[in-house]
Amino acid sequence: MVTPTVTVDTISFELSPSDNPRLANLCGHLDEHIRMMERGFGVEINNRGGKFQIIGKPDILSEVQDVIHALYADTAQSVLEPEQVHLAIRESGGTEITGFEEEKEVTIKTKRGLIKARGENQQAYLRRVMTHDINFGVGPAGTGKTYLAVACAVEALERDFARRIVLVRPAVEAGERLGFLPGDLAQKVDPYLRPLFDALYEMLGFEKVAKLIERNVIEIAPLAYMRGRTLNESFIILDEAQNTTVEQMKMFLTRLGYNSTAVITGDITQVDLPGSVRSGLRHAIEVLKDVEGIGFTFFQAKDVVRHSLVQKVILAYEKAETKS
């Protein structure tokens, strides 16, 4: 098998006039503006003072250089905010992260180890999560859609690509609603988010997760409480999205702020909504399928990575539903 080659080029330039306060303004706190541009354009940016080097696909380098020059010009007048950098990236066509090694195997690095995708569909899923601001992972249980989304969130947090992880899930299962469950808000929602927490515990450890929740770096946000919010610099996971209504899904998708990523996971064959209520996930797939910048990955029974019998159970139910 011939491995496809990817052309990578380098461009170097120097900003003038040289001004250390303006350069610090351009780069942002802990280089956050530089990191945003790296993610937004899929390039590597190195600088020593006013001397910059950009590494990436040849057709994007001049655009990145133009954005850096334009932002540097703005520093003469004002203090740059992340929102300005985000808009500059968008206006220059950097709406997707076009990482120049996307053809290679995608892996997720966490402090607890390396997480690898199993199979082509999981690989494609990871690439889309890394290159799109909104992603849908749709398919049966056991295909890794939620686990891999959490892995991407943890990596984004550890690499300072996101400042917090927001876990969202509709509490509509088996006829139960939040008001009938004991405890405070977090305790009411906790059972619904257990699969997400299990993945977080495995990747970060119990103590670290508890500390991050205490500091609100990991936030538990019931879907019903998301209205009116704008989530900036966040990695948001909406799990069990098949149990959202059409209105809830639209509300959730419009919460996305600058420099944020949203991953929506669900299984449209396991909807727990009342029969007369349409699934927001099913509706979103139909409405958004042709919207550029939104990624869709559809998993099948063959992608199941649990016990071999799980795959057979899913196939048996699919066969029965087809007959009926």
pLDDT value for 94: 62
Better pLDDT: 188 or 7: 7
pLDDT value for 99: 40
pLDDT confidence band for 197 (50 / 70 / 90): confident
CB atoms within 10 A of CB 88: 21
Query: What is the phi/psi pair of residue 143, to 5°?
Result: -90, 0
Asked if residue 212 has pLDDT above 80, the reply is yes
Extended strands (E) in the chain: 9-14, 44-48, 51-56, 107-110, 113-116, 134-138, 164-168, 218-220, 234-238, 261-266, 294-298
Identify whether residues 39 and 126 lie together within a single domain: no
**Tokens encoding 58:** 């040849």
Identify whether residues 81 and 115 lie together within a single domain: no
Nearest Cα neighbor of 273 from 321, 314, 241, 298 is: 241
pLDDT value for 222: 81
Asked if residue 196 has pLDDT above 70, the reply is yes
16, β-bridge pairs: none
CA distance 102 to 323: 41
Range of the domain at 15: 9-91
- Listed residues 39, 63, 91: the one ending a domain: 91
Identify whether residues 219 and 313 lie together within a single domain: yes
| pTM given for the model | 0.67
pLDDT in tens, 137-183: 998 888 889 999 999 999 999 888 889 999 998 865 534 454 444 45
Asked if residue 313 has pLDDT above 50, the reply is yes
Task: Answer yes or no: is 308 within a domain.
Answer: yes
pLDDT in tens, 96-138: 444 434 445 677 877 777 888 888 888 889 988 988 899 999 9
Identify whether residues 77 and 163 lie together within a single domain: no
pLDDT confidence band for 319 (50 / 70 / 90): confident
CA distance 235 to 127: 15
pLDDT value for 5: 47
Task: Answer yes or no: is 178 within a domain.
Answer: yes
Task: Answer yes or no: is 2 within a domain.
Answer: no
pLDDT confidence band for 315 (50 / 70 / 90): confident
- Listed residues 32, 56, 91: the one ending a domain: 91
Helix axes 280-288, 246-253, angle to 10 degrees: 60
Identify whether residues 173 and 44 lie together within a single domain: no
**Tokens encoding 174:** 């088996």
CATH code (residue 32): 3.30.1370.10
Identify whether residues 141 and 278 lie together within a single domain: yes
How high is the mean pLDDT of the chain? Answer: 82
Task: Answer yes or no: is 217 within a domain.
Answer: yes
**Tokens encoding 289:** 């399928």
Identify whether residues 208 and 132 lie together within a single domain: yes
Identify whether residues 161 and 85 lie together within a single domain: no
CB atoms within 10 A of CB 293: 12
**Tokens encoding 77:** 């007048």
pLDDT value for 171: 67
Identify whether residues 141 and 252 lie together within a single domain: yes
Which stretch of 4-18, 139-153, 216-230 has the lowest confidence by average pLDDT? 4-18
Let me know: does 265 contact 149? Beta carbons within 8 Å: yes
Task: Answer yes or no: is 97 within a domain.
Answer: no
pLDDT confidence band for 188 (50 / 70 / 90): low
- Listed residues 59, 91, 123: the one ending a domain: 91
Which helix (H) or strand (E) segment is 239 a member of? Answer: none
Let me know: does 200 contact 158? Beta carbons within 8 Å: no
Mean pLDDT of 36-53: 88
pLDDT in tens, 226-263: 888 889 999 999 999 999 999 999 999 999 988 899 99
